[in-house]
Structure 1
Amino acid sequence: MAEIQKQNSFSRLYHVVKQSLNGETLDYTQGSISKAVVLLAIPMILELSLESVFALVDMFFVGKLGENAIATVGLTESVITIVYSIAMGLSTAATAIVARRTGEKAPDAAAHAGAQAIVIALFLTVILSITGVIFAADILRLMGADAAVVADGAIFTRIMFGGSVSIILLFLINGIFRGAGDAAMAMKSLWIASILNIILCPLLIHFYGLKGAAIATLIGRSSGVLYQCYHLTKGRKGLLHFRSSHFRIDWPVIRSLVNVGWPATFQFIIASGSWIVLARLVAETGGTAASAGYQVALRNVVFFILPAWGLSNAAATLVGQNLGAGKIERAEKSVWLTARYNAFFMSFVMILFLFFPAPIIRFFTNDAEVASYGARALQICGSAYIFYGIGMVMTQALNGAGDTRTPTVINIVGFWLFQIPLAYLLAKGFNMKTTGVFIAIPVAESMIAIIAWYYFRKGKWKEVKV
């Protein structure tokens, strides 16, 4: 009997996994909440796990080029997080509004909102690309890079900023798919981008050096965007199908997207801007080796945070769709269940980082000094991972409801009024140098998680209209 029950459990699990990866059209406003979380979370976790592999592959092969190359990639990524912030802000707005329209059973209105978000994105990328291409070397200097890093890395930075359109559209269109509940399509597009990058990165680095890493990334992301666009316009008929009429300027819809999107964009810029300040502080207090070690550690932090972010995105979709369907209690239950799953996953990662930081870092670099800084950063930053997971779910739940302003205020307080001053106080005031910077990160993230939990409990997000 026990063996039969075990077989049935595996059979049900296999069916759920298969159903989630097939991208079937499902109604997430009814049925089992646990099943809805799992169906959305599996492709979202796999999607973002591949995104984190994308980053780690770059760091692995770039690491073979020396500390200047590692510092270039790290500093460029620190600044280009502004581009990611805009992409994620627009994606958050698109997810919230598309999910709300989907919950209201209005697929044409959902597609129209998604198309208007793409129009906004194309306008913004022109400005970002031109700025990045012209001022690539100045950006590296601003981040505290020395002359050798600027000389070697300016072309990498120029290519990465020049390809901003692929970054923004990849994130944005995946947000549109997630809002519609088609998480499998978002996963597949990022898989294409990541797998191409994994194949091309070592080849192009061999022939072109650091520049090859940027070219591989650009080709991979652009291929993912082309795949997305095909399925939005000419692919299989699913929850969304874009037509040319959807791209005609619709000012009321654009205003609605901007009203939700600008606080979300500012929210991520605040967070990424604080990481830029911390990266510069690490470079100031520890030099190039410390900067390189810190960047390697951050790549590993991101590797394990992105799956948790996938679970958080599942919460955002469920909140948006269930609010659209008028099922507020179901929306709230979805968040608490997702937070529980995330806390379990992140507690495992926290143990891994606390007890095995050195072997993880040494996989990416053989430089003893770089590895020493990286291991210390990873161990300290990983000490509050369980709080990261809970905070991410609460923040994304608020975003999914269209309440993007509350997380923005939380980020201003947590990062700029607390984390940065604390990092400077510990690093320079108490002369703890890079260790002080590392300590400020988990302390601030834990505080942000507690505040986000408090505001979600208050429940004002239930009244937001988008």
Structure 2
Amino acid sequence: MKEKKKKTDHLLALIREGRPMTSGEQLRLTVALSIPAIVTQLSAIVMQYIDAAMVGSLGANASASIGLVSTTTWLFWGLCAAASTGFSVQVAHRIGAGDWDCARSILRRSVPSTFAFSALLAAIGVSVSGALPQWLGGDSAIRSDASLYFLIFSLFLPILQMNFLAAGMLRCSGNMRIPSIAGVLMCILDVVFNFFLIFPSRELSVGGLTLSIPGAGLGVQGAALGTGLAESVAAAITLWYLFTRSSGLKIKAWRKSPSLPTPPIVRNSIRISLPMGLEHVVICGAQIMTTVIVAPLGIPAIAANSFAITAESLCYMPGYGIADAATTLVGQSLGAGRRRLTRRFAYITVFMGMAVMGIMGVVMYIFAPQIIGTMTPVEEIRRLGIMALRIEAFAEPMFAAAIISYGVFVGAANTLVPSLMNFFSIWAVRISLAAWLAPTMGLKGVWVAMCAELCFRGIIFLIRLRGKQWMKI
């Protein structure tokens, strides 16, 4: 492990020092940064998968209550991610330029700024949690559980924000390993906490021996609480490592660095984060609108839509992992003033992601019955979920193109135009098609619209990637 870390650090140093890199070295560095980032992303979605599967065993209503508010939780989650990215991308640029003093100063300013932002989000989430399920058109049978789930999620937002910030700073400095380890541990702890919090006390027979298993029996609320506790442990690990062990960013090194004025750092962060945040609001608003379109189709359709989205995430999370690596590589290369190398890393990461997600799409199509079958025993929900996954499998390569190209543009601090592209694609193509097809085709029409939109989005992002405007910091 230490030997691999040394090789990765050596390759990153080649970028900062302006030394030549062979195509093999570029590919090895991309893979070295991508694999831990993929593990981190997969662990996050596996945690959602675990929640869905464990709650799914409680019945369709429990599943639908989480599915109803899932798009809103993603909205708040994305806003926290955008806030941390605004600072971490600046750190990547300064590290690429070899200016560690400035990088440390940006980190110092990021902690109070992002914490205050997440506390405000938490307050908003708590205040709307009671009325949210009704606003989304949820059935009265699932409103109470959906409300409590979102309330607990909102209370943990500041912890989630600190985890995002610490992990983002480590990744942009080239350390993908610690966020990956923390993510895997979070996934394991989520299973443990859910096991005791979701289900009531029960007896388990093992080899003729009967064991009494304690349980809180909190159901849907137990799933939210288990996830929050697991996130808390992960945040503690990443923060501890960032502030005490990270060679260039730890607190001991802060005293050696001059303190830069706060306003320019925050302004730059807002310039990067605001388009990302607005874009996420728009996209999640579209997802919420999709939920509103799906809601009249009935509880089985709501649950199947939620399960299919969670299951599909297993395919596209590798894309987000490679996008994280692309952000680091592009950010440090541009910070070092190496534009040709920047373009090389952009192409390597995008085409690698398209290949990986294309393979994942084939796997998803073949094993759709098994994937959905582990999440719910209800036959109607399974049938609808399988249908949705097999439609979406065809869009995975182009979805990868959009995801990773966006990661490239974020690394270049070029977020406004890509955000507008996402806005246009999702509202002009997906929502209009879904609203048109759902009344006649049901849930199938919603997923056909999603597949068409993702293919369109991938094409327009590839077109922009070929240009040069995105490299102008």
Q: TM-score, normalised by structure 2?
A: 0.89
For these two proteins, the number of residue pairs brought into alignment is 445
Aligned-partner residue type, residue 444 of structure 2: T
The separation in 1 between residues aligned to 2:36 and 2:307, in whole angstroms, is 26
Deviation >4 Å, runs of 4+: 20-26, 243-249
Residues 287-317 of structure 1, C-alpha deviations (whole Å, 9 max, x = no match): 1110001111111111221122101111111
Q: 1:259 maps to what in 2?
A: 271
The separation in 2 between residues aligned to 1:68 and 1:378, in whole angstroms, is 21
Secondary structure of the structure 1 residue equivalent to 2:414: coil
Say if 2:436 is the partner of 1:443: no
Question: Aligned-pair distance for 1:153?
Answer: 3.0
Question: Aligned-pair distance for 1:249?
Answer: 7.0
Q: 1:4 maps to what in 2?
A: none
Aligned-partner residue type, residue 66 of structure 2: V
Question: Aligned-pair distance for 1:23?
Answer: 7.8
Structure 1 pair 27–379 and aligned structure 2 pair: CA distance change class (3 A) = same
The separation in 1 between residues aligned to 2:391 and 2:13, in whole angstroms, is 42
The separation in 1 between residues aligned to 2:261 and 2:241, in whole angstroms, is 22
Residues 78-129 of structure 1, C-alpha deviations (whole Å, 9 max, x = no match): 1111111112212332332111011011122112223323322211222221
The separation in 1 between residues aligned to 2:142 and 2:123, in whole angstroms, is 22
Say if 2:146 is the partner of 1:153: yes
The separation in 2 between residues aligned to 1:147 and 1:48, in whole angstroms, is 34
Q: 2:230 maps to what in 1?
A: 220
Structure 2 residue corresponding to 1:386, chosen from 397, 419, 424: 397
Q: Which moved more, 1:65-74 or 1:254-263?
A: 65-74
Q: 1:310 maps to what in 2?
A: 321
Secondary structure of the structure 2 residue equivalent to 1:73: helix
Q: 2:88 maps to what in 1?
A: 95
Q: 2:282 maps to what in 1?
A: 270
Structure 2: where are the runs of 5+ without partners? 200-215
Say if 2:401 is the partner of 1:408: no
Q: 1:200 maps to what in 2?
A: 193
Aligned-partner residue type, residue 385 of structure 1: E
Residues 237-270 of structure 1, C-alpha deviations (whole Å, 9 max, x = no match): 4232236779997111011111111011112222
Structure 2 residue corresponding to 1:104, chosen from 79, 97, 101: 97
Q: 1:231 maps to what in 2?
A: 241
Structure 1 pair 348–169 and aligned structure 2 pair: CA distance change class (3 A) = same
Structure 2 residue corresponding to 1:27, chosen from 10, 13, 21: 13
Question: Aligned-pair distance for 1:454?
Answer: 1.0
Greater helix share, structure number = 1
The separation in 2 between residues aligned to 1:270 and 1:38, in whole angstroms, is 32
Structure 1 pair 237–398 and aligned structure 2 pair: CA distance change class (3 A) = closer
The separation in 2 between residues aligned to 1:248 and 1:461, in whole angstroms, is 27
Structure 1 pair 107–363 and aligned structure 2 pair: CA distance change class (3 A) = same
The separation in 2 between residues aligned to 1:453 and 1:95, in whole angstroms, is 25
Aligned-partner residue type, residue 114 of structure 1: L
Aligned-partner residue type, residue 229 of structure 2: I
The separation in 2 between residues aligned to 1:373 and 1:197, in whole angstroms, is 27
The separation in 2 between residues aligned to 1:118 and 1:110, in whole angstroms, is 13
CA contact (8 A) 1:170 1:224 kept: yes
Q: Which moved more, 1:52-61 or 1:87-96?
A: 87-96
Q: 1:282 maps to what in 2?
A: 294
Say if 2:435 is the partner of 1:424: yes
The separation in 1 between residues aligned to 2:146 and 2:261, in whole angstroms, is 39
The separation in 1 between residues aligned to 2:50 and 2:435, in whole angstroms, is 32
CA contact (8 A) 2:162 2:239 kept: no
User: In angstroms, what is the RMSD of aligned CA positions?
Assistant: 2.1
The separation in 1 between residues aligned to 2:333 and 2:407, in whole angstroms, is 15
Q: 2:210 maps to what in 1?
A: none
CA contact (8 A) 1:87 1:171 kept: yes
The separation in 2 between residues aligned to 1:402 and 1:42, in whole angstroms, is 23
The separation in 2 between residues aligned to 1:450 and 1:239, in whole angstroms, is 39
Q: 1:5 maps to what in 2?
A: none
Structure 1 residue corresponding to 2:41, chosen from 21, 43, 48: 48
Secondary structure of the structure 2 residue equivalent to 1:147: coil
Secondary structure of the structure 1 residue equivalent to 2:98: coil
Question: Aligned-pair distance for 1:322?
Answer: 0.4
Question: Aligned-pair distance for 1:27?
Answer: 2.0
The separation in 2 between residues aligned to 1:352 and 1:56, in whole angstroms, is 17
Q: Give 1:158-169 correspondences, 5 Å limit.
A: 158-169=151-162
Q: Give 1:105-184 correspondences, 5 Å limit.
A: 105-184=98-177
Q: 1:86 maps to what in 2?
A: 79
Aligned-partner residue type, residue 369 of structure 2: A
Question: Aligned-pair distance for 1:22?
Answer: 9.7
Aligned-partner residue type, residue 461 of structure 1: W
CA contact (8 A) 2:346 2:408 kept: yes
Question: Aligned-pair distance for 1:391?
Answer: 1.5
Question: Aligned-pair distance for 1:178?
Answer: 1.2
Structure 2 residue corresponding to 1:67, chosen from 54, 60, 69: 60
The separation in 2 between residues aligned to 1:389 and 1:78, in whole angstroms, is 21
The separation in 2 between residues aligned to 1:394 and 1:457, in whole angstroms, is 10
Secondary structure of the structure 2 residue equivalent to 1:148: coil
Aligned-partner residue type, residue 461 of structure 2: A
Aligned-partner residue type, residue 266 of structure 1: L
CA contact (8 A) 2:194 2:223 kept: yes
Question: Aligned-pair distance for 1:374?
Answer: 0.8
The separation in 1 between residues aligned to 2:182 and 2:400, in whole angstroms, is 25
Residues 32-72 of structure 1, C-alpha deviations (whole Å, 9 max, x = no match): 11111011111101111111111111111011111111111
Question: Aligned-pair distance for 1:220?
Answer: 0.7
Secondary structure of the structure 1 residue equivalent to 2:130: helix
Aligned-partner residue type, residue 429 of structure 2: F
Secondary structure of the structure 1 residue equivalent to 2:142: helix
Aligned-partner residue type, residue 275 of structure 1: Q
Structure 1: where are the runs of 5+ without partners? 1-14
Aligned-partner residue type, residue 451 of structure 1: I
The separation in 1 between residues aligned to 2:370 and 2:446, in whole angstroms, is 22
Q: 1:3 maps to what in 2?
A: none
Question: Aligned-pair distance for 1:232?
Answer: 2.2
Q: TM-score, normalised by structure 1?
A: 0.91
Q: Which moved more, 1:340-349 or 1:248-257?
A: 248-257
CA contact (8 A) 1:88 1:264 kept: no
Structure 1 pair 385–108 and aligned structure 2 pair: CA distance change class (3 A) = same
Structure 1 pair 28–148 and aligned structure 2 pair: CA distance change class (3 A) = farther
